[in-house]
Structures are given as C-alpha cells and as structure tokens.
Chains A and B, each alone.
Chain A
Amino acid sequence: MTAAVSKNVKDMTFEDFCRAVFDTTKRFDKPEVLKGIRVVSTTQYILGPSCAAYLAELGAETIKVELPKRGEPMRHTTPFNEPFLYPLSRWMPDKGTGLGFFGANPNEYFLSLDFHKPEAIQIMKRLAAKTDVFAENYRAGTFDRWGIGARQHMQVNPRVIYQWMGGFGGWGPGRNRASYDILGQAQGGCFSITGWHKEYGGMPSKQTIWIMDYWGGAISAFNILASLYWRDNVSGKGNFLEYSQVHGAQRHLTDFIALYGKTGIVPQRFGNWEPLLCVHGILKCGKSSYPNSKNPQEQEVGFCLVSAYKDEDFAKLCKLINRADLAKQYPTHADRVAADAQSAIYPELDKWAADKTKEDVDKACKAAGILSQPVLNSKEVSASEHWKLRGTIQWIDDPTFGDVQTQGPAYQLSETPGRIRWAFKPVGADNEYVLSKLCGYSGSAIADLEQKEII
C-alpha cells in the first residue's frame, strides 16, 4: 500500500479507499507486475495476439514477430474496409493497419522476420534462448517442422514456457485443421444454443465480438502465469502448453452438457429469453433514442434488459404493464419459466414497450423497483463516465498514430496496475531495437538483413 493512501486508510469509506488505491491517473507511477518477463509472440488474428496482449498490459516485455512488409493478416481487416491508421510500415506508408488490429496488440515491440529463410530461423532461436515465454498460434506442428517449435526451443532454453494456441490441438482427429473464432463457436456447440427462438425462425447467431478468441487468449495467459509460478517457485523447468479453441468453446456450455448427459435433451436456442429464469431477458423498445439523428445507425429502435424472475418482482412488472392478470396466471417461477409461459409473457412485455425508448422502459422499471438496463451501443459506452473514470475506456496520445480511443485493462491492481502505453506500432517498427539488444546485430548487419528481405 502506498504511503499516501495507508496514512488515512482507516478513515476512508470503502468507495474512497477503492478510488484512492486504484486511481487511474497514477497508473504510470507504479511498478508493473510482469516487468522482467520477456514474451516472444509469433501470433496472428486474435486468439494468440490477445494472450500476448494481456501479458503486455501487465508489463511483460512483449515482442511481436510478423512477416516483413505487410505484417500479420489482422492488420488488413477493418470494418467494411473503411478506417485505417497509417503507415502500415516504413516500406508501405500509403497503406494502413485496419482497426481489426486494435485491442490485441498494445504495448508490444514489433519485429519483422520471414520464417522461411534459414537466417530467420537462427534469429528465432536466439530470441527463444533469451525469453521466458514463447507464444504462437500457427497450425499445430508448423513451427516444429520449421525447427522452432517447443521441442527445439526447450533444448536451447529449458526454462521457456511455450504456449501453443489453435483450433484442435497437436493430437487427435482434428489435428490438421485450422480454426477461427467462428469455427470454435460452431464446433464447440455454442451456436446450437445461441440464436433465435424457434418461434422466431430458429437461426443460430454468432457472437460478433471474437469472444472465443479473447477467452482463449485469457486462458492461455492464465496458464502461462501458472507455469511461471511453477518454474520460478517449484521446479525450475519450462512447460509446453497447448490450448485448443474448440475445447475451450465447449467449456462454456455449462449446464447444457450435464442436461444432455442426464436426460438426453439437446438444448436449443432461446433467443433473448432465458431457459432458467423468467422474466430475465431483453425487450424490444419500439422507439429510437435518437429519432432525429442523421446517422441511420443511431435511428434503430432500442432494447432493454429486464430481470424480474422473483415472484414479487414479476408481480410489480405485471402491474407496471397493466397486466396484473399475468401475475395471477403465473404466480410462481415454476409456472412462468416453462417455455409456453415465456412465449406468452414476453410478447406482452414487448407490446408494452412498443411506444417507448429504451430509456423510457429503464426509467419505468427502476421506478417500480425492477432491475433493468438499456442495451448500450458503442457510442453510449464510449460516453459513459463509469468506464472513463475506471480507465477501461480511454483516449491515448499514441506516439505513432495520434489521438485514438481504446480499451484499457478491464481489471484493477492497486500496487501494480495494468496500463496501455501505445495501441500498436507499424510492422517492423522495432527491428533495430530488438535485433541489436537481444541478438547483437550491428546497424550494418541489420541493414543487410533488410536488403535480403529477411526482416
């Protein structure tokens, strides 16, 4: 605990105590919890990069290795091919990096390296010899074939934590297949339970954010930290870690797997309602919160979460929508959680909300003592003081790209907070820094590598 805080800590309210110890304006005055840990990340898209990003946010010196010139594929993805940040690299100033690259690559150093060249393999081995963590998400066995896999690195550096991430794992029937977030959600079973109720068409729905990639990245970072603990406090040995995305996806199926195992029931999609609780879902509100906006994206109607599954809350909700008869018809939770009951209740709630904005619905529910929350969009989240105060959304003055809004760490550590130092950098921006510091290359040797298109 810092001295300034500990002096008066006993007199503080809990809220003031939290505000003081987590003060986001003092993040850069405090130490970083993973300072001294070096990570080499040869990752692409989101699954692998997000793992490295979580470690970089906590202060690990993270070196991202990409193919020269154009970098990894995620740099070339951006919403509807519109927003880019320039330059892509010193070699391609007229090309940019798409915003798809955001969020999974902060605080990293960027090295370009063409793994197909023998000299590049030697550089990779030199890096592995001086690193604590090596993270990659190429297809299983690719790096092993190239001589830079777990086996080879752990011969050079027995203390390295080698984290492989991918679709199916290094062994088993799916071993040779590649994966993406959407494939993980499909094969893991997530789509079978996410999507429209059968009365609304029954189509599965994908989660638009790369939720299986970010989840896998977080789990991988978690396993890396556990392995570092085991290495430094127990064994002195490295570790070979494997994360399979499709297996990670099914880990979310929770009670559905148990339900099938016990009864043979195959759970189906239930839309924005909830099989376990009623009322506990999302209502469609018939009016837009921004009816006069020139931006059509803002003109869409709103949605509001309402949770009133306890008997007394449900009675309040029925009274609010002038349908006290529903409370009499479905007096207990067992009555109203049944599928037929939900099919009767939710349309009545939607009817009530049809002439209201999401704010109107939220205000009415709160006044009646019912839990509710308007479904916020990116504009509203960006404007929310709650996120800004806690530093989870922030504007940063990026040294390369200027004024950009980005997410900060979603957690708080009082003594060793995570932080965003920069959003990302152009391809190969730190070639000279990394190759001279870790591999002992001179300026002329680095220029030679560049001329031979090795970097």
Chain B
Amino acid sequence: MPFKDASLILQCPKCDTINYLDPFTFWNFKGKIKCAGCDAVFAYELKDGHRQAPPAETKGPHDKVPGFAQTKDWKPITTPGKVAVGPQAREDFQGKPIPITKSIRGKRVSGSPLKAEDLVGSVPKFFYSGNA
C-alpha cells in the first residue's frame, strides 16, 4: 500500500513529508494535523485506526502534530513543535529519576542517590541512619 493511502501515515500532498500518526494519539481522532515538513494543515479523521477520508488541506490553527516524521529522502524530523513529544504515562512524567526515601506503605527504602561516604561495605549507610 502506498503511504498516501495508509491510515496512520499522512504523506503530505504538498511536500511529500511522511508524517507518522502514532496510534496512542491518533487511533480515534478528528481534527487538524500540521505537516512537520511544510506546516500545511490538514483535516483528518480516524476511527479505530482507519482513516475516514484522504487528508484535506484547511486553515490553521492545528490540533496535533505527528508523533514522528521524516523527509521524502528518509531524514528524520525531530524539531520540537514540528513533531510531538512522546506520549506520557503520567502528567508529571519528566523521565528523570524520582528520589524516594519511603515505600508506598511508608517504610524506609534506598531510593535516593548516595555518596561514597554513605556506604558501609555494600549496605547503604542511609538505610541505617535514615538520612537521605
């Protein structure tokens, strides 16, 4: 199947950029998508992963940008604003280690970075003292 007929791929009719519509965001979608290559805005509708009609150019503002995109000669487009950040599992997700000192039931757990002097043998001193 050519890309231009695929449901979850929007091949821009104007610049041929291949815009991948990630299922997490677009599986059931009706709205406007901005091409990551030329900023053209297209009306698009998907139901259960099936597109309902070919993309139709329209005016902005757009609702969503594609999850990933690449040029016609297969170069990835990663510019923020052109493509979406990855789907987030939690509202506060930043992808950085979250230091914790207590488990979900309130007891001590060694969930924070330590310094060399915090170690007693291979056992964290923190675990003895409770000092994070």
Hey, which bits of chain A sit against chain B, CB under 8 A? 79-87, 90, 93-96, 196, 199-203, 295-297, 395, 399-405, 425-426, 429
Contacts and interface: CB of A to CB of B under 8 A. Distances in A.
Max count, chain B CB within 10 A of own CB: residue among A83, A93, A196, A405: A93
Interface stretch (B54-62, B69-77, B109-117): B109-117
A93 B113 contact: yes
Contacts of B119: 87, 90, 93
Nearest to B112: A86
B49 A200 contact: yes
B95 A80 contact: yes
Contacts of A96: 97, 111, 113
B110 A81 contact: no
A404 B110 CA distance: 9
B109 A401 contact: yes
A297 B111 CA distance: 22
A95 B102 CA distance: 18
Contact of B103 (A80, A90, A403): A403
Contacts of B96: 81-82
25 contacts: A80-B90, A81-B96, A82-B96, A84-B97, A84-B111, A85-B110, A86-B112, A86-B113, A87-B119, A87-B124, A90-B121, A93-B113, A93-B124, A94-B115, A201-B23, A203-B49, A295-B90, A297-B89, A395-B103, A395-B107, A399-B123, A400-B122, A400-B124, A401-B110, A401-B127
A381 to B, nearest CB: 14
Contact of A297 (B23, B90, B110, B124): B90
Given A81-B96, A93-B116, A403-B103, A86 B122 contact: no
B103 A405 contact: yes
A83 B98 contact: yes
Given A196-B49, A403-B107, A201 B95 contact: no
Interface in B36-64: 48-50
B27 interface: yes
Interface in B1-60: 7, 23, 27, 48-50
A404 B113 contact: no
Contacts of A86: 110-114, 124, 126
Nearest to A431: B122
Interface residues of chain B: helix, strand, loop or mixed (majority): loop
A400 B50 contact: no
B100 interface: yes
Nearest to A110: B122
A306 to B, nearest CB: 21
A79 B10 CA distance: 30
Nearest to A94: B113
Given A80-B89, A405-B104, 13 more contacts: A81-B97, A85-B110, A85-B111, A90-B122, A93-B113, A201-B23, A201-B48, A296-B91, A395-B107, A400-B124, A401-B109, A401-B124, A403-B103
Contacts of A94: 113-115
A323 B35 CA distance: 47
A402 B127 contact: yes
Return the 3 tightest CB-CB contacts between A and B, nearest first: A201-B49, A403-B107, A93-B114
Contacts of B112: 86
Given A83-B98, A93-B119, A200 B114 contact: no
Given A80-B89, A403-B109, A425 B49 contact: no
Contact of B93 (A80, A295, A402): A80
A200 B48 contact: yes
Given A80-B95, A426-B122, A201 B27 contact: yes
A296 to B, nearest CB: 6
A200 B47 CA distance: 8
Contacts of A401: 109-110, 124, 127
Contacts of B104: 405
B5 to A, nearest CB: 15
B105 A395 contact: yes
A404 B103 contact: yes
Nearest to B97: A84
Contacts of B116: 93
B115 to A, nearest CB: 6
Contacts of A90: 119, 121-122
A95 B122 CA distance: 14
Tell which of A202, A295, A402 has the most Cβ of chain B within 10 Å: A402
A86 B122 CA distance: 10
A87 B107 CA distance: 18
B110 to A, nearest CB: 5
A402 B105 contact: no
A80 B116 CA distance: 26
Contacts of B107: 395, 402-403
A203 B100 contact: no
